[in-house]
């Protein structure tokens, strides 16, 4: 079953994992060292992130290294762009309103 990318980022632990591996590739043990939970729990999160194609597992010998899939993150950015435009428009309107109020004083 292929999961939706938004299911992956809905969980705060998975968002924290994404932030960690955005800086460098990491093994599951290295990731688990940053959290107060079992390695099994981390493995579950990593499985979901992998199913969503947000991370890629690279097997080197007996170790697994996880790295962030930047292109998949762009899907999230593209979806957020529609809201970014709305927010920027509203902030511009607010700036204009505040400027008008200042001029009247």
User: What CATH number is associated with residue 47?
Assistant: 1.10.10.10
Total domains, the chain = 1
Q: Using an 8 Å Cβ cutoff, are 9 and 18 in contact? A: yes
β partners of residue 26: 66
In the prediction, which pLDDT does 62 show? 93
pLDDT of residue 71: 87
Average pLDDT of span 37-64: 93
Please determine, for residue 3, whether its predicted confidence score (pLDDT) is greater than 80. no
pTM for the complete prediction? 0.75
Average pLDDT of span 90-95:
88
Euclidean distance between CA atoms 55 and 51, whole angstroms:
8
Residue 67's domain comprises 5-104
**Per-position b or e across 63-95, b if 16+ CB within 10 A of its CB:** ebbbebbeebeebeeeeeeeeeeeeeeeeeeee
What is the pLDDT at residue 45?
Answer: 95
């Amino acid at each position: 079953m292929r999961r939706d990318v938004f299911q992956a980022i809905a969980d705060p632990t998975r968002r924290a994992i994404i932030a960690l591996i955005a800086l460098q590739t990491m093994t599951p043990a290295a990731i688990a060292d940053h959290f107060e939970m079992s390695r099994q729990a981390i493995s579950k999160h990593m499985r979901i992130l992998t199913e969503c194609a947000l991370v890629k597992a690279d097997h080197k010998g007996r170790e697994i290294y996880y790295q962030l899939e930047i292109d998949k993150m762009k899907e999230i950015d593209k979806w957020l762009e529609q809201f970014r435009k709305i927010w920027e428009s509203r902030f511009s309107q607010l700036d204009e309103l505040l400027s008008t109020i200042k001029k009247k004083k």
